[in-house]
Amino acid sequence: MSVPVRSTLRSTLLWAVVPAAIVYAVALVWSGAEGISAKLVLKDLAQSCKAPLGEGFLSSVGYLLWMAAAAIALFAASTRQIQGSVLNRQFAFCGGGFSLWLCLDDMFLVHDRYLGEAFLYITYAFFTGLLLFRFRGPLRRFGGDTFLVSVVLLGLSVLTDALQGLWPNSYETVQIFEEGFKFLGIAAWLSFWCHYVSSASKLAALEQH
């Protein structure tokens, strides 16, 4: 059964175009109030800073991986593609929301500039605990080992950052390990949510056989 064109257009305007226009306007007004010219807000950061192509490359790819995980989990949960119990969808909502927060935190350095690292660690611990204990069932059923690999790698990144003052190595060497654990952890995190959504979406068909 096809969706009416008017209904699709109305939905697009309401949930995509209007929110995008609001974000666009708020960004320009807010930056103007802070004394930042519209040109600097609109231009690409690498262009404004005249940075070479490779500068910030791995960090930018990390944003994309966080975004992909958030988009996959939130889209699947909100469109009810995930089958089975309500807990399965709640798990995707929670994981997708956490992924989105981590993406925004990385992009805008929220914890570095505004909230402090203590807040970051508390947030990580809370959501990790929530995902591990509240959603034990979905985790056991849909690739929990991959989830644990991502948590361990991301945890090693946080631990390296927290203890960097104790390491005898140079700051650059510590950063290589810290960001390396983080990058691999994000990749494993995305892999888990791809697997979870794929498996949970096929759940009804699997249970019939």
Per-residue confidence band for 123, with pLDDT thresholds at 50, 70 and 90: confident
Which residue ranges make up each domain of the chain?
1-42, 52-208
pLDDT tens readout for residues 136-195: 888 888 888 999 999 999 999 988 988 887 777 788 888 999 999 999 999 999 999 999
What pLDDT score was predicted for residue 122? 84
**DSSP-assigned states of every residue in the chain:** -PPPHHHHHHHHIIIIIHHHHHHHHHHHHHHHHTT--HHHHHS-HHHHHT--TTTTHHHHHHHHHHHHHHHHHHHHHHTT-S-S-HHHHHHHHHHHHHHHHHHHHHHHTHIIIII-HHHHHHHHHHHHHIIIIITHHHHHHTTHHHHHHHHHHHHHHHHHHHTGGG-SS-HHHHHHHHHHHHHHHHHHHHHHHHHHHHHHHTHHHHHH-
More confident residue, 177 or 112: 177
Which tokens go with 114? 């505004």
pLDDT tens readout for residues 84-107: 889 999 999 999 999 999 999 888
The yes-or-no verdict on residue 63 having pLDDT over 60 is: yes
